[in-house]
């Protein structure tokens, strides 16, 4: 703070570099003290890393701290790669680090109420609920990776319009089930809550009829 004020007396611009290793419970205090002691000069941080136990994964340990200190008000995040403390990063390490920090920055923007950040989240959430797979890929932070991961198990073009992915399959997708409940309610001409209550009652009766058994053979379900 003292050096800040000396620099400002000579019209020198100042940006403060924050510490790179801070446990989670001290991050808020660190940010508050910097704002107080340095008269709200811009603060930039390398993370901070929230733990030192994960060499090779410090883009993750630091992105946790980056999201928190971004929420509390730091001005800029300096990304950390998986090679931190181990060696010079290559192209893929840089990509992993930048992606981790873009996630952290976006999470902080959401927490601080930035409207465009929320609009982005809402857009991909809506695409996900409506099973618009191509829109999900294109709206994602890393469309190439998102598409590759999906296509590893469901490469056919028809899978791009399917109402499920390979994680839960067609029977247990929560979004498909929600859509089925809404359609059921429309067909019955009732509210969704009423349809849910009716469905739960039917399942309760089925449970009693089967003798109250929690576990049944797959063919019997």
- For residue range 4-52, list pLDDT tens digits in order: 999 999 999 999 998 889 999 999 999 999 999 999 999 999 999 999 9
Handedness of CA 143, 145, 147, 150 (dihedral sign): negative
Q: Spell out the domain ranges in the chain.
A: 2-113, 128-220
- For residue range 194-218, list pLDDT tens digits in order: 888 888 888 898 888 888 877 777 6
Q: How far apart are the first and last CA of the chain?
A: 68
pLDDT of residue 75: 95
pTM comes to: 0.82
- Which CATH homologous superfamily contains domain 2-113? Radical SAM ThiC family, central domain (3.20.20.540)
Instruction: Give the mean pLDDT of the chain.
Output: 91
Q: What residues contact residue 158 under an 8 Å CB cut-off, 6+ apart?
A: none
Q: Does residue 221 carry a pLDDT above 70?
A: no
């Amino acid at each position: 703070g003292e050096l800040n004020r000396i620099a400002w007396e000579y019209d020198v611009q100042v940006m403060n570099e924050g510490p790179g290793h801070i446990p989670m419970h001290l991050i808020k205090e660190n940010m508050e003290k910097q704002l107080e002691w340095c008269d709200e000069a811009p603060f930039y941080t390398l993370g901070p890393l929230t733990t030192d136990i994960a060499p090779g994964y410090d883009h993750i340990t630091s992105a946790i701290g980056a999201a928190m200190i971004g929420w509390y008000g730091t001005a800029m995040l300096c990304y950390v790669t998986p090679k931190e403390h181990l060696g010079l990063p290559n192209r893929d390490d840089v990509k992993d680090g930048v992606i981790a920090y873009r996630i952290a920055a976006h999470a902080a923007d959401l927490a601080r109420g930035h409207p465009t950040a929320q609009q982005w989240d809402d857009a991909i959430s809506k695409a996900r609920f409506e099973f618009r797979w191509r829109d999900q890929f294109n709206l994602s932070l890393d469309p190439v990776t998102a598409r590759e991961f999906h296509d590893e198990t469901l490469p056919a073009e028809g899978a791009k319009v399917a109402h499920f992915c390979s994680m839960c399959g067609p029977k247990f997708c929560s979004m498909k089930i929600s859509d089925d409940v809404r359609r059921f309610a429309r067909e019955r001409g009732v509210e969704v809550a009423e349809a849910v209550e009716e469905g739960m009652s039917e399942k309760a009766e089925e449970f009693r009829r089967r003798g109250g058994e929690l576990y049944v053979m797959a063919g019997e379900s």
